[in-house]
Amino acid sequence: IAGITQAPTSQILAAGRRMTLRCTQDMRHNAMYWYRQDLGLGLRLIHYSNTAGTTGKGEVPDGYSVSRANTDDFPLTLASAVPSQTSVYFCASSEQGSNQPQHFGDGTRLSIL
Amino acid sequence: DQQVKQNSPSLSVQEGRISILNCDYTNSMFDYFLWYKKYPAEGPTFLISISSIKDKNEDGRFTVFLNKSAKHLSLHIVPSQPGDSAVYFCAAYDRGSNYKLTFGKGTLLTVNP
């Protein structure tokens, strides 16, 4: 079934550790995104990529990095996790071009202790 | 400064009645609006959208209305069903934002049997 796969589903991590959240899509979408969802704050864009080889900063990029080596994969890395990064992380993708609906994975629930 | 506002955190309606979810925005550069539905432990799912050149878009039980002068849109669900119980997010594309989608905080809809 076509869609977006995120891994892991959930993770508990000690503060200061490095963590990479994985995201793979098989829809051949050019654009991909990472969001975090926090209670009372909705979804906020962390980083995005319009096409393989390019990335851009969203609303809340500090403490996170991304790479886009190919069309299908868009990993999100926390170099040194802090408790404020406890959140649910969603990866999304869309066809290139304005006003295309974004399609979301089921999220990674991350707890930083 | 929140550019997409969903002022009702929750809404409860009776099965078979109409559900009306509201959304206000402040950015006059927004030109395309989307509604997403989210069940617990799943990612948001695209529901319906509307371009700023239209004032209504209908898809089955779901209708979105846009009032540009008031910077207001609403999602109508008729008739409401218990399976519609979910969090609904309003989102908007900024034509100057390079594909970045801005989300509201969401409204939890509960449809009671």
**Could you read off the pLDDT of B28-39 as tens digits, one per residue?**
989 999 999 999
Q: Which amino acid is at A6?
A: Q
CATH number for the domain spanning B44: value is 2.60.40.10
Which residues are within 8 A (CB) of A62 and not within 5 positions of it... i.e. 6 or more apart?
none
Written as six digits, the tokens of B92 are: 């908007």
Q: Give the 3-state DSSP-derived string for A50-89, with helices as H, strands as E and coil as C.
A: CCCCCCEECCCCCCEEECCCCCCECCEEECCCCHHHCEEE
The residue length of chain B stands at: 113
**Which residues on chain A are in Cβ contact (under 8 Å) with B44?**
43, 90, 104
CATH number for the domain spanning A87: value is 2.60.40.10
Taking the Cβ of residue B31 and every Cβ of chain A, the question of whether any pair is shorter than 8 Å is answered with yes
* Residues B107 and B10 sit within 8 Å (Cβ to Cβ): yes
Query: From the list B42, B49, B104, which residue is nearest A101 (CB)?
Result: B49
Give the domain range for residue A15.
4-112
**Could you read off the pLDDT of A64-106 as tens digits, one per residue?**
999 999 999 999 999 999 999 999 999 999 987 777 899 999 9
Give the domain range for residue B107.
4-112
**Which of B101, B105, B107 to mutate to probe the A interface, most A CBs <10 Å?**
B101
Residue of A nearest to B48 (CA): A101
Residue A1 has pLDDT above 70, yes or no: no
* Residues B68 and B52 sit within 8 Å (Cβ to Cβ): yes
**DSSP bridge pairs for A23:** A6
* Residues B66 and B33 sit within 8 Å (Cβ to Cβ): yes
In percent, the amount of chain A with pLDDT more than 90 equals: 88
Residue B98 has pLDDT above 80, yes or no: no
Integer angstrom CA distances of residue A33 from A75, A93, A94: 10, 6, 9
Taking the Cβ of residue B17 and every Cβ of chain A, the question of whether any pair is shorter than 8 Å is answered with no
Q: CB–CB of B44 and A101 under 8 A?
A: no
Number of domains in chain A: 1
Q: Please give the angle made by the CA atoms of B88, B22 and A87, to the nearest 5 degrees.
A: 35
Query: Quick one: B46 exposed, middle or buried, by C-beta within 10 A (0-12, 13-18, 19+)?
Result: middle
Number of domains in chain B: 1
Average pLDDT over every residue of B21-47: 95
